[in-house]
Amino acid sequence: MFLGMGRPAWKEARATLQKILSADEPVLRDNEALRNKCLVPMSDIEMVLPINVGGYTDFFCSVHHARNCGFIFRGPQTPVNPNWFHLPIGYNGRASSVVVSGTDVIRPRGQGHPTGNSGPYFGPSQKLDFELEMAAIVGPGNELGKPIDINNAEDHIFGLALMNDWSARDIQAWETIPLGPFLGKSFSTTISPWIVTLDALKPFTCEAPKQEPEPLPYLAEKNHANYDIPLEVWIKPKDQSDASIVSKTNFKHLYWTLTQQLAHHTINGCNMRPGDIFATGTLSGPEPESLGCLLELTWNGQKEIPVGNSTRKFLEDGDEVILTGCCKGEGYNIGFGTCTGKVLPSLP
């Protein structure tokens, strides 16, 4: 399996493809028949999941998202739990419901908080939300019982893809104590078919946020770095011809880095396998327009945001959510494509 071959094989494959596609290389440039076989219009193909997802872990690594969620649900006294600054918080997601971009999302049903003296609500989620995330794709991985060293962790990450970890906030809020999210998250997770390798992202490496207190030794890395990846979220309502931007943020705000996430995931001996994915959690920034989900943008439905000629507190049936990401180099771009999904009505 290509992912399991490791960084030397990935670098060789990338260099070979770059050479073949170069304007100075005649192998494709001067062979029209071969070029027609190798280069296929996107309109003629169906994009599928880029990997067989064996395991999926969702982290919670944006301090801005963590702080905002704490304010919303717990108030200003302790918006971020003390343990959050000592370890990357995460939970095991549902790999079977990870779907490729373009797959429709059926509004989930489940229980919600009781109102007054009544019992719990049951029915279609009234607070369906997107979450702007990025998914890291695991390469070689590790044997059971043998953790990945923080300073070697980069060699076990093939690349990054856009991810929308759809969330039913009302279902999640009712079920999440004491064991965390379940039905409010497991109904669908959308990823882009395009994976950008960490080698391709090297020119966009930037300093990661300073961590206080200093992490424990197994999380203290020699190269504490993130990537400068501008990200956007667009919503296209079913009755509008154009999509409207609702969020602009950047991967560089991530508090716990990808390598810290992977090192923490395996420190207890947990084995990671080629094609496993782990996600960053919602990528919110410090500015009001840089919040990565409607929960934050509308402060849990307390206000509305404009979407074209309409407004939203949470997603409505027929809404299409479009995530984009693109690094801007000098004279070139490194694009992540799009990650899209349309909300369909709940099943009867």
Cβ count within 10 A of residue 331: 5
User: Distance between CA 55 and CA 141 in Å, rounded?
Assistant: 12
**Counting Cβ atoms within 10 Å, is residue 65 exposed (0-12), middle (13-18) or buried (19+)?**
buried
For residue 68 the two structure tokens come to 């905002």
Amino acid at residue number 201: L
C-alpha distances (whole Å) from 195 to each of 24, 95, 312, 336, 348 are: 26, 17, 31, 7, 36
Beta strand 128-129 pairing with 310-312: unpaired
C-alpha distances (whole Å) from 229 to each of 29, 193, 200 are: 32, 18, 12
Beta-carbon-side half-sphere exposure of residue 36 (alpha carbons within 13 Å): 3
C-alpha distances (whole Å) from 112 to each of 7, 120, 214, 346 are: 46, 6, 39, 15
User: Distance between CA 209 and CA 257 in Å, rounded?
Assistant: 9
User: Distance between CA 255 and CA 208 in Å, rounded?
Assistant: 7
Q: Note whether 18 and 162 are within 8 A (CB).
A: no
Letter string b/e over residues 206-219, b meaning 16 or more CB atoms within 10 A of that residue's CB: eebeebeeebeeeb
Q: Is 155 annotated as a binding residue?
A: no
Q: Is 313 annotated as a binding residue?
A: no
For residue 275 the two structure tokens come to 């094609």
Q: Is 14 annotated as a binding residue?
A: no
Q: Note whether 221 and 258 are within 8 A (CB).
A: no
Q: Is 74 annotated as a binding residue?
A: yes
Active-site entry in 65, 156, 253, 265:
65
Q: Is 131 annotated as a binding residue?
A: yes
Q: Is 156 annotated as catalytic? A: no
Q: Which residues are annotated as a binding site for Mg(2+)?
A: 165, 185, 189
Query: What are the residue numbers of the active site?
Result: 65
Q: Which residues are annotated as a binding site for substrate?
A: 60, 74, 172, 282
Q: Which residues are annotated as a binding site?
A: 58, 60, 74, 131, 133, 165, 172, 185, 189, 282
Q: Which residues are annotated as a binding site for Ca(2+)?
A: 58, 131, 133, 165
